[in-house]
Amino acid sequence: MPEPPCATERAFGALYAATSAKLFGICLRVLKDRAEAEDALQDGYFKIWNRAGRYQVTGHSPMTWLITVARNSAIDVLRRHPRDAGGDARDLTLSDPAPGPEAQAVAVSEAGRIVACLGELEEDRSAAVRGAYLEG
């Protein structure tokens, strides 16, 4: 990136200090390899820093956006170096019907909503959806 002015560099340092442990945890969970997770984390912050001016138009809260960018960077690294894993998440589709009324009643929060939706799926499908997000 271009030589940032001092204040900009301090701003980046503050953002990094506040968020890098969470984002590195996510990259590690996706990649299960420290060197690759470090690469993904760097890619993620590079995108974050270069797209910061555009973040407000995405419609996400700051942490949601940071997590989304970091996770997507990790998935990109994973796609370049696929694991020798058992099942391929890309065989999965999401063609189940919408959750029933009970599940919808539980959906008081967004995190609650996804947990409720996952609970409606059969156990192996639920694990597959979580796995697809965090393990590609």
Partner 1 sequence: MSDRPDIPPEGAEAGEYVLGLMSGADKAAFEARRAADAELRDEVLNWERPFAAMAEIEIAEVPPPERVEVAMHAR
By CB under 8 A, is residue 26 in contact with partner 1? yes
Least CB distance to partner 1 at residue 105 (A): 16
Residue 82 beta carbon to partner 1: minimum distance, rounded to whole angstroms: 12
Tell me the C-alpha distance between 86 and 53, whole Å.
40
127 contacts partner 1 (rule: CB under 8 A):
no
We find the least distance from the C-beta atom of residue 136 to partner 1, in angstroms, to be 6
Measured distance CA(133)–CA(112) in Å, rounded: 16
- Taking the least distance from each CB to partner 1, the nearer of 28 and 103 is 28
Which of residues 11, 29, 33, 55 is near partner 1 by CB under 8 A? 29
CA quadruple 126, 117, 82, 65: dihedral sign: negative
Q: Does 56 bind partner 1 (CB under 8 A)?
A: no
Residues lying near partner 1 in the complex (CB under 8 A)? 1, 9, 12-13, 16, 20-22, 24-26, 28-29, 37-38, 41-42, 45-46, 58-60, 63-64, 67-68, 71, 75, 79, 89-90, 92-98, 109-111, 113-115, 129-130, 132-134, 136
